[in-house]
Structure 1
Amino acid sequence: MSRRPLDPRERRSLAVVLAVAAVARAAVVLWASSRIVPTADAVYYHKLATRLAAGAGYTWLWPDGVVTFAAHYPVGYPWLLSLVYRLVGPVPAAGALLNAALALAGVAAVWDLTRRSAGLRAAWLAGLLAALDPALVLYTPALMTEGVTASLLALAAWAAAVAHDRSPYGTSGDAPPPRPWPWLLAAGALLGLATLVRPQCVLVAPLLGWAAWRARGSLAVTGAALAVVLPWTLRNCTRMGRCALVSVNGGWNLLIGAGPNANGHWAPVDVPPACREVFDEAGKDACFGEAARQMIAADPGRWLRLVPARLGATFDYCGAGPWYLHDAAPDAFPDAAKVTAGAAETLIHRLMLAAALVALARWPGGLRRTRLAIGAAGVALALVRPGWVAYALLAALAALVWASGRPRSFVAAALFAVLGTTLAVHAAFFGAGRYSLVVFPLMASAVGALLTARPRQGDTAPHAPDRDGRGGAAASPGHRERPVALQRREDRAGNPG
């Protein structure tokens, strides 16, 4: 990986990529500003943010005038919205601009993460893919959590990559490595904020930390993430009558995925008899969770048989942005536009998926035949309707590349951390196309880094990318990554590498 400052060509590349991303999102926000109103969950995020901005706290005003503390929806995104609403008022278009600003930061993170791993040409490709991804661009006006989460996860992966670059595992030469701790803590803080937006992001922290600096990195990143979340957890313990890490909707979501109406997608909940007289928000969620666990225990086969449907709902079809635009303004964005845009998004992501599978399958290192077989099966499945299996195979390939310990495999580690946890969470609960959005920025990085600048067999150590944008040397096939500084000391002492 590279720690050197950006040279003029790299600065121009980043500027162009960010300009493309900004123009694409500005055009969508400008079109949507007078047409699109909050819809679905965005209605609640907007109202909660408005109350936060007005100083009413994270509370809900009921039709009868009663005000109660809230925790059903995670606080992170309403809190971010409230910061903007305090400045300009509760205007949904201001929230869309917030989404766009965070998206630009995420695109920059994808660009630099890829540059550090594979050089400038790879960064061009990955950056432009993230900048122009139609699923992410069309979702910009949506006051929803998935686009913001995608950006925060990309930023956290970038910070963890910088930490890895500054650890003994990413440093070449005889000088002691710069301290990775500030970057580990930054990655953890970003993941803490992402957890406040979408609680399952906490699962990414130990994986990204391990990729950055093994056990010490895992402890640092996870600890920092939990430290960011802890004040809100304590608030829930005090205000909600029950302790909850971020929100009290896990029981609801488990019941949606396991109840009588469960079909893999969102489905209306039939309130269990035991919960019909429970009106407390946290108590009802706990009751729903207990009822769902009892249903799973009574018929685990049914719950397991729905796993393909849950993952299919998450990965088989995109279309979250077109759905939101149509639902908010069906006259301005008719059904035909929704279907066409959704189909285009799905096609583009299937092509990206196939490219990432090919790249990971061909990556030098151990288990090459196994990876080629998995990659071939994944590419075939990427071109048919049940695409979720291909995404699962992509996660497996990313894990194999990461486990090889080869230099410049950090992009694969980050992709596995996000894609693997997304697969696991939605296999257990329920799925929707918008939940896959968090994966796309890092998949863009994988396509750029792993296709454009594939390392050469026989190389031995990571170096900065050379002037034409190609990455430097990589470890020989099958070599387990180890601290480069330690390797140099052993070489001088005459010990085997």
Structure 2
Amino acid sequence: MRAQPHKLILALILLLSLAWRLLLWAQPLHLPSNDEVEYVRVARDLLAGRGWVFYESWRWLRAPLYPLFLAGSLWLAGGDLHLAALPNLALSVGVVWLAYGLTRALAPDGRRGPALLSAAVAAALQTYATFASLYMSEMLFSLLFGLGLLALARWQHSGGLGRAALAGALVGLACLTRSAALVFLPVAGLWMLWVALRRSGWRPGIVLPPLTLALGAALVIAPWTLHTCRAYGRCTLIETGGSYNLWAFYEPRESLETINQTLEAIRNPMERADVATQHGLARLREDPAIILRKLPTEWIRLWTVKPIEDRFLRADNYSDPPPAIFLSGLVLDDMLYLLVLCAAPFGLALARRNAFALLLGLWVVVFVLATLFTHAEGRYRHFLFVAMIPLASVALAGLRRRERPPQALALLAGAALALALLPGLRYYPWGWAGGGALRSVYRAVGDGLADAGRYTTAESAYRSALEASPTPDGWIAMGDLQRRAGDAGAAIDSYEQAHALRPPYVGASAALGDLLRELGRADASRVAFRGRYLDQQHLADWSFLMRPPAPASAVDVGDGLDFGYVGGVYQAEQMQDTTVRWTAGRGLLRLQPTGGPGPAVLILRVAAPRPDGVPVPLKICVGGACADVPLGAGWRVVRLWLPSVGAGPIELCSPTFYAADGRDLGVLLDWAVLETLRTEALRH
């Protein structure tokens, strides 16, 4: 039996969406930002059995479902944060399929074109593709909430209390992911009443589906609510972010830093929420007009494109995205968003006879209203795409068939569009986009010329990129080119230009420190690695991931020159007369023996002190072969014979313990040497 063409097209769209997301995910691990830092920390606490301890010293209590999901992802990935994004990536592909299903519910007359177009838009949209690799709740919410909408569409078509209960449970799960969905539940219940009234008129039984919807949601949400009652002495339905928003975003007299410090000093989340609510309400009583001033500000913030941290997957917030990714973002993110925004209101007008279209429109309205009165971010548009993409696809398909809504509805749709579009165009970062596009083109040309060995022409292209948009990475690319050409002095100048442009940028300090270390200028290298306002933990992680150093057979860990040679470690510490680093459970060493290939010996000075004094097994893995070494609190010099040395790093795996400062500590590492047996024999 031959597959139907639309199924083959949908399968191809899903495969392409998976490939697009994997392409973005395959970039080096990005630096967590915004809510990611919180989610990752909470997930690691949950995985280690510490529960929700993070929220005893944080400014709010968060909805629980995404941290639980991320903890499960980390467990499946063996603690590897990069691999832990793959389940989220699968959710993102599921959202593409969901866009198809929701659009089919809008156009149930057998036409597959709008649904396939909707899936294609969701597959290509770079917002979706990028968030697939972010440790954020948007993808999980979109899938759960979209499935709830789909269950409501099935109920509209076929009825049944089971479908109503399923919809309630799915929307309830979405609420446990982002509580913004709570405002939708009463709206959905009223919509169900309206649909039932249109279908069969008034009868007592029509109240059962809305009640079943509410019951399904309540049964899902109640366990978490009861947990908060037991844990904190008082109940909150899901989270306390609304209280924080009331104080922090209603023109407080205190600085945001003061607000955060005040709230983080209160251990009980319920008491913390009370304090925030009291301050917020007191400010509103002083000046009720704050509400009127707040609304246009939040409206502009919601619809405006901004070059924020989670716009691209970058190893540092000062890094340039790869040229092709930046250019694709202008098309598949900004322009596609503009297309969806322009088309969605007219899609609602065209599908006006379908009650499900009204439900999608109601979600957009109630979410926007809730956002205006709480707090808006540009990334919150993510929650609207689940409704706007299907509506936009209906409009685009109707445009092809030359369908037009009634004039009054068209004018209403145009007015709604203008309210969102005008601030979006007015505050769009045109200079950032234009300069970034030119920079990306010149940088891509320069990279190609450099790979071909045409250094002089490549340098000219890099200078054009810097003229279009001067960035630290532009100067670092120039310095790397000059370094390859053998002009170390010019490379140092370029790296210093990068450092001067953004002093806290880890990439500039890592590049300059690495070159000075290679030139034998140890003291100057330490100064460069130290940087200005530079997070040394970030420098250690960045250097190992992004800038492999020249081969070395030995490393003195923590001496200020070990960056790039050690990974999976914490900041250097001074212990008595030596510098050391703790591993985080999976330490990595990048060493190569001086005597060439062949059998080698690895020599380590390590220790594993524990509060309970128990011995710790250290597993040392090289090239797929592993050996176990027992360690205690005292220092031990370990010698391990290796039949061969692979190209990958040396792994030092051990159990961890939770320290008082919140770190998961493995073993202490002082120094390491990797030598061929011939070299070691000569040395002895």
Aligned-residue Cα RMSD (Å) equals: 3.5
* Equivalent in the alignment of 1:378: none
Q: 2:5 aligns with which of 5, 9, 24?
A: 9
Shift of 1:127: 0.9
* Equivalent in the alignment of 1:91: 80
The question of whether the paired residues in 2 share the 8 Å contact of 1:310 and 1:426 is answered with yes
Normalising by structure 1, what TM-score? 0.70
Q: 2:66 aligns with which of 47, 67, 77?
A: 77
Q: Taking structure 1 as reference, are residues 340 and 287 closer, same or farther at Cα in structure 2, changes over 3 Å only?
A: farther
Supply the distance in 2 between the matched residues of 1:44 and 1:411 (Cα, whole angstroms).
36
* Equivalent in the alignment of 1:190: 170
* Equivalent in the alignment of 2:181: 201
Partner of 1:300, secondary structure, is coil
Q: Does 1:416 align with 2:362?
A: yes
The question of whether the paired residues in 1 share the 8 Å contact of 2:118 and 2:389 is answered with yes
The question of whether the paired residues in 1 share the 8 Å contact of 2:302 and 2:381 is answered with yes
Q: Taking structure 1 as reference, are residues 319 and 163 closer, same or farther at Cα in structure 2, changes over 3 Å only?
A: farther
* Equivalent in the alignment of 1:142: 134
Shift of 1:211: 3.9
Supply the distance in 2 between the matched residues of 1:294 and 1:326 (Cα, whole angstroms).
41
Q: 1:37 aligns with which of 13, 31, 34?
A: 31
Supply the distance in 2 between the matched residues of 1:454 and 1:105 (Cα, whole angstroms).
27
Supply the distance in 2 between the matched residues of 1:312 and 1:216 (Cα, whole angstroms).
40
Shift of 1:130: 1.1
Normalising by structure 2, what TM-score? 0.52
Correspondences of 1:444-463 after superposition (within 5 Å) = 444-452=389-397
Supply the distance in 1 between the matched residues of 2:260 and 2:31 (Cα, whole angstroms).
34
Supply the distance in 1 between the matched residues of 2:260 and 2:37 (Cα, whole angstroms).
26
Correspondences of 1:42-61 after superposition (within 5 Å) = 42-60=36-54
Shift of 1:236: 0.5
Q: Taking structure 1 as reference, are residues 123 and 231 closer, same or farther at Cα in structure 2, changes over 3 Å only?
A: same
The question of whether the paired residues in 1 share the 8 Å contact of 2:30 and 2:315 is answered with no
The question of whether the paired residues in 1 share the 8 Å contact of 2:77 and 2:84 is answered with no
The question of whether the paired residues in 2 share the 8 Å contact of 1:193 and 1:228 is answered with yes
* Equivalent in the alignment of 1:286: 274
Partner of 2:259, secondary structure, is coil
Number of positions where the alignment pairs a residue of Structure 1 with one of Structure 2: 389
Supply the distance in 1 between the matched residues of 2:181 and 2:356 (Cα, whole angstroms).
18
Shift of 1:72: 1.6
Shift of 1:453: 5.2
Supply the distance in 1 between the matched residues of 2:244 and 2:367 (Cα, whole angstroms).
18
Supply the distance in 2 between the matched residues of 1:451 and 1:111 (Cα, whole angstroms).
15
* Equivalent in the alignment of 1:331: 319
How many percent of aligned residue pairs carry the same amino acid? 23
The question of whether the paired residues in 2 share the 8 Å contact of 1:319 and 1:343 is answered with no
Q: Deviations over 1:69-120 (max 9, x none)?
A: 9962221110111122222223222332122111122221210221233120
Q: Taking structure 1 as reference, are residues 338 and 451 closer, same or farther at Cα in structure 2, changes over 3 Å only?
A: closer
Partner of 1:37, secondary structure, is coil
Q: Taking structure 1 as reference, are residues 274 and 55 closer, same or farther at Cα in structure 2, changes over 3 Å only?
A: closer
The question of whether the paired residues in 2 share the 8 Å contact of 1:39 and 1:328 is answered with no
Partner of 2:337, secondary structure, is helix
* Structure 2: 5+ residue stretches without partners: 197-206, 410-684
Shift of 1:232: 0.3
Correspondences of 1:82-481 after superposition (within 5 Å) = 82-118=71-107, 119-167=111-159, 180-212=160-192, 214=196, 215-260=207-252, 268=256, 270-271=258-259, 278-317=266-305, 322-323=310-311, 325-326=313-314, 328=316, 330-331=318-319, 333=321, 341=329, 345-361=333-349, 363=350, 401=352, 406=353, 408-417=354-363, 419-452=364-397
Q: Taking structure 1 as reference, are residues 137 and 340 closer, same or farther at Cα in structure 2, changes over 3 Å only?
A: closer
Supply the distance in 2 between the matched residues of 1:198 and 1:275 (Cα, whole angstroms).
21
- Which one-letter code corresponds to 2:65 in the other structure? G
Shift of 1:275: 7.1
The question of whether the paired residues in 2 share the 8 Å contact of 1:310 and 1:430 is answered with yes
Structure holding more strand per residue: 2
Q: Taking structure 1 as reference, are residues 328 and 245 closer, same or farther at Cα in structure 2, changes over 3 Å only?
A: farther
Partner of 1:237, secondary structure, is helix
Q: Taking structure 1 as reference, are residues 268 and 90 closer, same or farther at Cα in structure 2, changes over 3 Å only?
A: farther
Partner of 1:126, secondary structure, is helix
Q: Taking structure 1 as reference, are residues 190 and 122 closer, same or farther at Cα in structure 2, changes over 3 Å only?
A: same
Supply the distance in 1 between the matched residues of 2:173 and 2:48 (Cα, whole angstroms).
22
Supply the distance in 1 between the matched residues of 2:308 and 2:139 (Cα, whole angstroms).
10
Q: Does 1:19 align with 2:15?
A: yes
Structure holding more helix per residue: 1
The question of whether the paired residues in 2 share the 8 Å contact of 1:54 and 1:86 is answered with no
Shift of 1:231: 0.5
Please tell me whether Structure 1 or Structure 2 has the larger radius of gyration of its CA atoms.
2
Supply the distance in 2 between the matched residues of 1:336 and 1:329 (Cα, whole angstroms).
18
Deviates more, 1:93-102 or 1:312-321: 312-321
Shift of 1:288: 0.7
Supply the distance in 1 between the matched residues of 2:137 and 2:293 (Cα, whole angstroms).
29
Q: Taking structure 1 as reference, are residues 353 and 273 closer, same or farther at Cα in structure 2, changes over 3 Å only?
A: closer
* Structure 1: 5+ residue stretches without partners: 1-5, 62-66, 168-179, 365-400, 457-469, 471-476, 479-497
The question of whether the paired residues in 1 share the 8 Å contact of 2:130 and 2:311 is answered with no
Partner of 2:249, secondary structure, is helix
- Which one-letter code corresponds to 1:183 in the other structure? R
Shift of 1:333: 2.6
Q: Deviations over 1:360-383 (max 9, x none)?
A: 34x38xxxxxxxxxxxxxxxxxxx
Q: Deviations over 1:449-497 (max 9, x none)?
A: 34425999xxxxxxxxxxxxx9xxxxxx99xxxxxxxxxxxxxxxxxxx
* Equivalent in the alignment of 1:393: none
Shift of 1:344: 6.0
Shift of 1:157: 1.1
* Equivalent in the alignment of 1:370: none
